[in-house]
Homo-oligomer: A and B are copies of this chain.
Amino acid sequence: MTARIVELRKGVLEKNDLLAAGLRAQFADVDVRVSNWVSSPGTGKTALLELLLARAVERGIVAAALVGDCATDNDAQRLARSGAPVRQIVTEGMCHLEADMIGEHLSGWDLRALDLLVIENVGNLVCPSSYDLGEDVRVALLSVTEGEDKPVKYPQLFHSSDVVVVTKTDLAAAVEWDRDAALAAVAAVNPDATVVETSARTGAGIDDLLDLLSTRTPHLQEAP
């Protein structure tokens, strides 16, 4: 990249950080837990989120979702079946969500009524990691079908995430998933990450993930 582009990109990120800080303060003020889900396309974010939202409804946790995609509102349609409020953000080819898109798409929602807001980012292991969306918890997802070394090949995302969710564990045997190698790869780039192993097919790990996302408040825990 040329020096001018690096400089302009820096400006975009600084502006995004400011907007994200505003969102974070707003979320803390109304006491809603916000998570930002990032993974490759096809890791199973939507399938997992569908189950998580349905489970939240069953447990009386008030949850909502914003879902980002380059095109189509397929994901929002799938998620709406859970009964939770869902809005689609169509990025029209942009490869990640930015804080201003979150702000715009929250308008009209009563955040005070929510316990949990999940933001499903565009499927991309690289670009979303630079953009803070004001979340409490960044979640990196990794399916057992993707290969155990993804965390070390895409260190920026896995390093900047609080939670690593392993998906599709029901397929682990079929794809000869090397669990130890994958956990070692996560630990190599982020020894502090909380790892949750899940399957949208069997429901494994869903309640653990829901507990973690609806109660964890790192911005409060960081206070002295």
**Bound CA–CA A212/B171 (angstroms):** 32
How many residues belonging to A are interface residues under a CB distance threshold of 8 Å? 40
User: Does A214 belong to the interface (CB within 8 Å)?
Assistant: no
Q: Inside 8 A of A171's CB, which chain B residues have their CB? A: 145, 171, 174-175
User: Does A74 belong to the interface (CB within 8 Å)?
Assistant: yes
Classify the secondary structure of A's interface with B: loop
Indicate if the CB atoms of B95 and A153 lie closer than 8 Å: no
From B4, B71, B125, B175, A153 is in contact (CB under 8 Å) with B71
Q: Taking the nearest CB of chain B, how far is it from the CB of A78, in angstroms?
A: 10
Indicate if the CB atoms of A153 and B12 lie closer than 8 Å: no
Q: Inside 8 A of A93's CB, which chain B residues have their CB? A: 126, 156
**Bound CA–CA A122/B157 (angstroms):** 15
User: Does A42 belong to the interface (CB within 8 Å)?
Assistant: yes
Indicate if the CB atoms of A70 and B174 lie closer than 8 Å: no
User: Does A40 belong to the interface (CB within 8 Å)?
Assistant: yes
User: Does A149 belong to the interface (CB within 8 Å)?
Assistant: yes
Shortest 7 CB-CB contacts between residues of A and residues of B: A42-B146, A95-B126, A145-B145, A40-B40, A40-B41, A174-B174, A41-B125
